[in-house]
Copies of this chain bind each other. A is one copy, B any other.
Amino acid sequence: MTEPTEPSDPRDLPDPSDLPDDADLLRLDRQICFSLNAASRAFGGVYRVLLKDLGLTYPQYLVMLVLWERGDLPVKRIGEYLRLDSGTLSPLLKRLEAAGLVRRERSPEDERSVTVSLTDEGSALRERAGRVPRRLLAATGLPVEELTALRALLDQVTLALDTAVPELAAKD
């Protein structure tokens, strides 16, 4: 039903005049998170199909993209590029290693660090992956400049959200 008039929170909404009420915001919130969730999973579905004959999952493909572009990297750097921690990367990299696509070696100059490098097979896979982007971009049905704009908007939101998290987490 309609919301009982909630005690407004001046901390959250100092200027209510130009904003819709809670019910409208709840609806928009639902739409935004639904849409983003759906889009993320829709991309995942397309990648799953495109990557199937490469034997890669979507996150594994992201790691391979980083290695193809940047060359050998320690786990730490890969995690920074992809915003993933070792809890996610360690088992993922083990699977890539088991598939013969990468090597993992303790760095001689810092034994804490593990350097991930491409095997010949891993490098060769790049050629076979060459058609993936074109097929993906075609599947979106959007022209390149719109996708670029979408990317920019997403990056902007991501930056704002990442900035907001510590503030939200810090208080209470």
Mask: chain A, 20-40; 1 = CB below 8 Å from B; 0 = not:
101001111111111111111
**Contact yes or no, B8 A37, CB < 8 A:** no
**Contact yes or no, B154 A22, CB < 8 A:** no
Contact A62:B40 (CB < 8 A) given known A134-B22, A139-B160, A172-B53: no
Tell me which of B35, B46, B144 contacts A154 (CB under 8 A): B35
Which partner residue on chain B sits nearest A149 by CB separation? B8
Mask: chain A, 128-172; 1 = CB below 8 Å from B; 0 = not:
011111111111111111111111011111101111110011001
**Contact yes or no, A9 B131, CB < 8 A:** yes
Which partner residue on chain B sits nearest A50 by CB separation? B168
Further pairs besides A7-B145, A139-B165: 10, Cβ < 8 Å: A6-B130, A22-B130, A26-B129, A32-B147, A35-B150, A37-B82, A38-B154, A39-B157, A49-B169, A142-B156
